[in-house]
Chain A
Amino acid sequence: MGLELPKYPEMEEDQVFNFTDSEIVSHVKQALASVLSGDNNSYNQLVGVMHHSKHLAPDEVALLETTLKALAGAVSSIDITHHDSLLSAIFCMSMWNYGPHVADALAELIVSLAISNGKYLDLCLGMLVSNFTPPPYFLDKLKMPHGLERKGQVLSRVHAAFKKIADYVPLAPLRLLTIVLQGMPTIYHKDRAIVIYVENMLKLESGEIGELVGSTILMAVVDRLIELDVEIGWDAILQDDFSKGIFEMELEDVDDIEESAEPDVGEFRLSRKSLAGNSIAELLDNLLVLTFEHLESCEREGRLAKVFETLLQSFRVTVLSAYKSKFAQFVMFYACALDPENCGMRFATMLADLFVQDSQPQPTRMSAVSYLASYLSRAKFLAASSISSMLKRLVDWCLEYCEAHDGDINPNAHRVFYSGCQAIMYVLCFRMKVFVDVPRLKSELLIPLEQVLKHKLNPLKVCLPSVVEEFLRQAKAASLFTVCKTFIFDGLLESELSRAFGGLERLDTFFPFDPCLLKKCDSFIRPMFVFWSMVKPTYDDAFDDDDDDDGSSDDDLVQDFVTENEDIMNDEFGKSFDEQGVDMDEFDYALKKMSITPKATSNYKFGGRFQEPARMPSRIRPSTSPESL
């Protein structure tokens, strides 16, 4: 084969010569060898060609390509000490700066270097990994078509190079793994390099060496997600004006607010808005979307079950133990949604298993059951039978616990028990209609549950009041068991007792799968998510018949409670009752400003104190009272 060179720097003649490849290679070899004898001229010129990278004329491009190809043939003559300037020039080159031909030649050179000598392996892999991210000037161009094209071109060559190296050096993937993990940009990198880096990591996972490096990479990605997650403070999401507010607007309603002409709909808008400017939230959003898309491709390739095992382990180790993870857990939610029968059930089973194991530490068990409760309530894709089997497990465990423990009410001593009861009640608030319609479930589940709730340990008193109230309301409407008349919470979100069992971590107000506040994520999750407004509570049926007389039955219900329990109001809830008065006023005000009427319940049509039912805490805010933090 002949190669025509317009101009080769070392040649003194102006004529054009045809050189064969092997002649060029031997020329380069000579240049390399001459360094050892002290003559650096040709060598320096070689290095110069490597360094010249910007604004290359076509002949310079050809020269670079030829030189790279020649070097690939001469790797055995490269010495790590004598030719260090050449090597460092090569390792600093970025494929993003060049067109496809030069990129090919560079990739070939790197592969040849890597397989020629163990000493170069790590350096070559490092060079390829550094090509995951474009040089800073290119980052902005990534969105444009030219940028995308270059990205595809570079990344395909980089990953192909990994495969080739792995073919010739079987242990290379192991070393690659270490290098990739070490090279992960931290979350504080301003240039957003982490998004494209993670994209590359996921590409590795699904690539040809994926089997070897995949699971470690996935776990590292989840670790990074959690790191970002914990950087977003809870105060960025929640605002504290209504510390004891009972109503929460779910996000879909917030959108409605924005659509209506109301200018200041109140502080509820802040929650997503304040997150909007938060750059870390944006980063997390992008990474979560990347992960979701990756899971989708895994599912298409039929690998989801295997990938899920890794995710599950990662969840268990990282997410579950993180203090109140906010969004990272949606990775699990999405994976389960893609494969409800298999992955969906596997997730629920794992959580239930953790809950019932005595050997697990308390916070883990309570956390697990909170995840389970939130998951069973919010997952649109779960079959009623799956939910009922999980609930049955929880109920059975609680019943066993009751029978084994004969004590009185004691939030601190029976934390796990109370969190279990709360979980059951929470799920039933969302799903009660399902169980009411199936008589067998009614008897299997609800009879033991009644026993649990009426036990001396008194979970109805200890668990989060808003949950209990909603539950009792629905239970009464569905005539599930005899109305417990001894509870009045007056729309309290939480109580001292619930705080006591929740502990320092406030696991009594932890509902991890509450609507996702990250915009792009939310659009993925939404189709498979149960919003509270979509739920038809059992008491709704009662109102279907009295359209003209809307408020009355509701009133009666609440009035019953009030008249029969005035004395109760004063002891435990006495303190909060006063505060409540204030809150309610502010609340009325805020409510009247809102123009939303969610589709389901008719309750919202009226303002007024007692006619506002304790709404299901779809997004509970932690109490801001000092002792809980």
Chain B
Amino acid sequence: MEGLSVADANLVMYLHPSKSRNVSQSILRELGSLLFKFNETFDGVLLAYDVNILDKQAKILSGVHPYFGLRLKANLLLFSPKPDMLLEGKVVKLSQESIHVIVLGFSSAIITAENIRGEFKYRTKDKEELFASKSHKRHVIKVGTMIRFLVKSFDEEILHIIGSLISAHTGSIRWLDRHLEEDSEFDRSFSKLKSFI
């Protein structure tokens, strides 16, 4: 899946003097408050962090409140979906008008009917709503399916993605992977042969 990255960051964190008693807790709290929010500096949504204090000494800023600046080194897991990236998520709601997906358990995505390629037709089978491919019978999308879709736009405030299933690489992941497998079957049998020699 695209859009996930790990970054090394050198940070300077400014803490209020009242926090000086328990610095590590304050650092964790500050970083914790950034979680699951889009951050301009990081250019992405912070998902996880691992932090180390570089220097036990911190510079005190002059001013009304003498904040002190701590130098930290952090490992950050960032999520920054950009248009035309392929993302994967689980379908949680399906209707004729739209497919609702949740990515990485926290980001919601919607694919509206006009962004679903004509190959998929909306059907109701045994009271279950689904999108089935006209050309490939096994290719079915219903609630619970993991799908791969293309990012059209990303709302940084609500972390809401608008996606599309127009491109051919998109659809149910299970089907797509198997489909790709068929192409590479020849390669695998060839490497099997090689191992015998």
Which of chain A's residues have a CB closer than 8 A to the CB of B158?
Answer: 118-119, 121-122, 169, 171, 175
Which of chain A's residues have a CB closer than 8 A to the CB of B159?
Answer: 118, 171
CB-based contact A121/B102 at 8 Å: no
- A168's contact among B97, B108, B155, by CB below 8 Å, is which? B108
Say yes or no: A115-B113 contact (C-beta < 8 A), given A170-B108, A175-B158.
Answer: no
Residues facing B in A313-335 (CB within 8 A) are none
- A167: CB under 8 A from chain B? yes
Q: In the complex the two chains form, what is the Cα distance from A335 to B10 in whole Å?
A: 46
- B157: CB under 8 A from chain A? yes
CB-based contact B92/A75 at 8 Å: no
- A121's contact among B97, B98, B106, B160, by CB below 8 Å, is which? B160
Say yes or no: A170-B112 contact (C-beta < 8 A), given A121-B158, A175-B158.
Answer: no
- B93: CB under 8 A from chain A? yes
A74, A116, A121, A169: most-surrounded residue (chain B CB, <10 A)? A169
Q: Which residue of A lies closest to B154 (CB)?
A: A118
Which of chain A's residues have a CB closer than 8 A to the CB of B97?
Answer: 73-76
Residues facing A in B103-119 (CB within 8 A) are 105-108, 110, 112-114
Which of chain A's residues have a CB closer than 8 A to the CB of B102?
Answer: 168, 170
Say yes or no: A118-B96 contact (C-beta < 8 A), given A76-B112, A170-B105, A171-B36.
Answer: no
Q: In the complex the two chains form, what is the Cα distance from A117 to B157 in whole Å?
A: 12
Q: In the complex the two chains form, what is the Cα distance from A67 to B35 in whole Å?
A: 40
Q: Which residue of B lies closest to A165 (CB)?
A: B108
Say yes or no: A115-B108 contact (C-beta < 8 A), given A169-B158, A169-B160.
Answer: yes
Q: In the complex the two chains form, what is the Cα distance from A76 to B114 in whole Å?
A: 9
Say yes or no: A170-B100 contact (C-beta < 8 A), given A76-B112, A119-B155, A121-B158.
Answer: no
Q: Which residue of B lies closest to A170 (CB)?
A: B106
Q: Which residue of A lies closest to B110 (CB)?
A: A116
Residues facing B in A149-177 (CB within 8 A) are 167-171, 174-175
Which of chain A's residues have a CB closer than 8 A to the CB of B98?
Answer: 76, 116
- A169's contact among B36, B108, B113, by CB below 8 Å, is which? B108
B92, B93, B113, B158: most-surrounded residue (chain A CB, <10 A)? B158
Say yes or no: A115-B93 contact (C-beta < 8 A), given A76-B113, A121-B160, A169-B160.
Answer: yes
Q: Indicate with 1 or 0, residue by residue over A165-191, a CB within 8 angstroms of chain B CB atoms.
A: 001111100110000000000000000
Q: Which residue of B lies closest to A175 (CB)?
A: B158
- A30: CB under 8 A from chain B? no
Which of chain B's residues have a CB closer than 8 A to the CB of A76?
Answer: 97-98, 112-114
Q: Which residue of B lies closest to A29 (CB)?
A: B97
Which of chain A's residues have a CB closer than 8 A to the CB of B108?
Answer: 115, 168-171
- A451: CB under 8 A from chain B? no
- A565: CB under 8 A from chain B? no
Q: In the complex the two chains form, what is the Cα distance from A277 to B76 in whole Å?
A: 59
- A167's contact among B92, B110, B112, by CB below 8 Å, is which? B92
Q: In the complex the two chains form, what is the Cα distance from A182 to B108 in whole Å?
A: 24
Q: In the complex the two chains form, what is the Cα distance from A595 to B186 in whole Å?
A: 105
Which of chain A's residues have a CB closer than 8 A to the CB of B36?
Answer: 171, 174
Q: Which residue of A lies closest to B98 (CB)?
A: A76
Which of chain A's residues have a CB closer than 8 A to the CB of B95?
Answer: 73
Distance in Å from the Cβ of A428 to the closest Cβ of chain B?
36
Interface size in chain B (residues, C-beta < 8 A): 23
Say yes or no: A168-B157 contact (C-beta < 8 A), given A76-B97, A76-B113, A117-B110.
Answer: no
Distance in Å from the Cβ of B89 to the closest Cβ of chain A?
11
Which of chain A's residues have a CB closer than 8 A to the CB of B107?
Answer: 170-171
A75, A168, A175: most-surrounded residue (chain B CB, <10 A)? A168
CB-based contact B93/A168 at 8 Å: yes
Q: Which residue of A lies closest to B114 (CB)?
A: A76
Which of chain B's residues have a CB closer than 8 A to the CB of A115?
Answer: 93, 100, 108, 110
Say yes or no: A118-B160 contact (C-beta < 8 A), given A170-B102, A170-B105, A170-B108.
Answer: yes
Which of chain B's residues have a CB closer than 8 A to the CB of A118?
Answer: 155, 157-160
Which of chain A's residues have a CB closer than 8 A to the CB of B112?
Answer: 76, 116
CB-based contact A168/B160 at 8 Å: no
B97, B107, B159: most-surrounded residue (chain A CB, <10 A)? B97
Residues facing B in A479-499 (CB within 8 A) are none
Which of chain B's residues have a CB closer than 8 A to the CB of A117?
Answer: 110, 155, 160, 162
Distance in Å from the Cβ of A76 to the closest Cβ of chain B?
4
- A22: CB under 8 A from chain B? yes
Q: In the complex the two chains form, what is the Cα distance from A76 to B102 in whole Å?
A: 18
Which of chain A's residues have a CB closer than 8 A to the CB of B160?
Answer: 117-118, 121, 169
Q: Indicate with 1 or 0, residue by residue over B81-95, a CB within 8 angstroms of chain A CB atoms.
A: 000000000001101
Distance in Å from the Cβ of A268 to the closest Cβ of chain B?
45
Residues facing A in B145-175 (CB within 8 A) are 155, 157-160, 162
Distance in Å from the Cβ of A335 to the closest Cβ of chain B?
26
A73, A170, A174: most-surrounded residue (chain B CB, <10 A)? A170
Q: In the complex the two chains form, what is the Cα distance from A76 to B107 in whole Å?
A: 19
Distance in Å from the Cβ of A410 to the closest Cβ of chain B?
30
Residues facing A in B51-89 (CB within 8 A) are none
CB-based contact A168/B113 at 8 Å: no
Which of chain A's residues have a CB closer than 8 A to the CB of B105?
Answer: 170
Distance in Å from the Cβ of A168 to the closest Cβ of chain B?
5
Q: In the complex the two chains form, what is the Cα distance from A385 to B157 in whole Å?
A: 55
Which of chain A's residues have a CB closer than 8 A to the CB of B92?
Answer: 167-168
Distance in Å from the Cβ of B116 to the closest Cβ of chain A?
11
Q: In the complex the two chains form, what is the Cα distance from A168 to B98 in whole Å?
A: 12
Q: In the complex the two chains form, what is the Cα distance from A168 to B114 in whole Å?
A: 20
Q: Indicate with 1 or 0, residue by residue over A61-102, a CB within 8 angstroms of chain B CB atoms.
A: 000000000000111100000000000000000000000000
Which of chain B's residues have a CB closer than 8 A to the CB of A119?
Answer: 155, 158
Residues facing B in A115-132 (CB within 8 A) are 115-119, 121-122
Q: Which residue of B lies closest to A22 (CB)?
A: B96
Q: In the complex the two chains form, what is the Cα distance from A74 to B110 in whole Å?
A: 14
Can you name 16 A-B pairs with beta carbons within 8 Å?
Answer: A74-B97, A75-B97, A76-B97, A115-B108, A115-B110, A116-B98, A117-B160, A118-B158, A119-B155, A169-B108, A169-B158, A170-B105, A171-B106, A171-B108, A171-B159, A175-B158
Please name the 4 residue pairs, one residue from A and one from B, whose CB atoms are nearest each other, closest first. A118-B160, A118-B158, A118-B155, A169-B108
| Further contacts, 10 of them, CB under 8 A, given A118-B159, A171-B159 | A76-B112, A115-B110, A116-B110, A116-B112, A118-B160, A119-B155, A119-B158, A122-B158, A168-B108, A169-B160
